Amino acid sequence: MIHIIQSDGDVPAGLVEGELRRLGVEQRTIGLHISEALPEISAVRALVVLGGAMGANDDQRHPFLTELKRFIAQAMEREIPCLGICLGGQLLSLATGGELYAGRDGEKGTYSVMLTDQGEGDRLFHGVGQSFISFQWHDDSFSIPPAGTRLAFTGTCHNQAFRVGRRAWGVQFHPELSREIVAKWSSWSAETAARTGEFLAAFQEWEEEYLQVGRRLVENFARIAGLLPSPCRAVSKQS
């Protein structure tokens, strides 16, 4: 089972949930925004931590963030596969010794993400290609943790993805979105509401590639977590 941690009611699992269902992978969503309790760490096989409108250090307004960072740190100690998305990636960075860059390298809309040399050889990004289309919605960004490896970047945001340990990843971009979620987020402020048509038109233009990348990342993560069989490899016969 993959446990999905949701911190914001307006930031659902979207494509991640749908793709796991299609792949037949059992999942359970924990809604911290509705005061659901985190599971016992011993019961967690794999972990996806979603984004949210709050800041990763906004513990005073959202006390569950303190417990969530501690929970992520425990998952890292146990080498539980983890994928942190946007806020989730920022929390993973903080839980493993990184920093939050508040108000820095923000992006909203459709961007091209480029993989580093390390990213091109990384298991999570297997089959994605050297660059891909992503949807961004963040004002803050993360640093690469001291023991982390930088995997991706955009022209605006230097740190788009990292791996820490063997089986934990933080990404700043959103692989889980749908047109409905993009429209919802656009309504959050007058500034973004005025750009709703722009955001939706760009999403529609690149939707097919965007969805292919999101599905690939979800499938790769499920395989890394041991929840899907590894791809079969041809075995050559010897005389």
CATH 3.40.50.880 fits 2-224, yes or no: yes
What pLDDT was estimated at residue 127?
96
CA 111 – CA 108 distance, rounded (Å): 8
164-193: pLDDT as tens digits = 999 999 999 999 999 999 999 999 999 999
Q: Which residue among 19, 138, 174, 207 is the active-site one? A: 174
103-124: pLDDT as tens digits = 999 999 999 999 999 999 999 9
Each domain of the chain, given as residue ranges in start order, spans 2-224
**pLDDT value at 7 more than 50:** yes
Stated pTM of the model: 0.94
158 included as an active-site residue: no
232 included as an active-site residue: no
What pLDDT was estimated at residue 234?
41
**pLDDT value at 233 more than 90:** no
86 included as an active-site residue: yes
What is the Cβ-side half-sphere exposure of residue 186, based on CA atoms within 13 angstroms? 21
Name the packing angle between helices 196-224 and 15-23 (round to 10°): 40
The DSSP result for the chain, as a single string, is: -EEEEE--TTS--THHHHHHHHHT--EEEEEGGGTPPPPPGGG-SEEEE---SS-TT-TTT-THHHHHHHHHHHHHHTT--EEEETHHHHHHHHHTT--EETT-S-EEEEEEEEE-HHHHT-STTTTT-SEEEEEEEES-EEPPPTTEEEEEE-SS-S-SEEEETTTEEEESSBSS--HHHHHHHHTTSHHHHTTHHHHHHHHHHHHHHHHHHHHHHHHHHHHHTTSSPPPP-------
152-170: pLDDT as tens digits = 999 999 999 999 999 999 9
pLDDT band per the 50, 70, 90 thresholds, residue 229? confident
Q: Which residue among 17, 107, 176, 219 is the active-site one? A: 176
CA 221 – CA 209 distance, rounded (Å): 18
Per the prediction, the chain carries an average pLDDT of 95
Q: Which residue among 86, 157, 207, 219 is the active-site one? A: 86
**pLDDT value at 67 more than 60:** yes
What pLDDT was estimated at residue 223?
97
**pLDDT value at 236 more than 80:** no
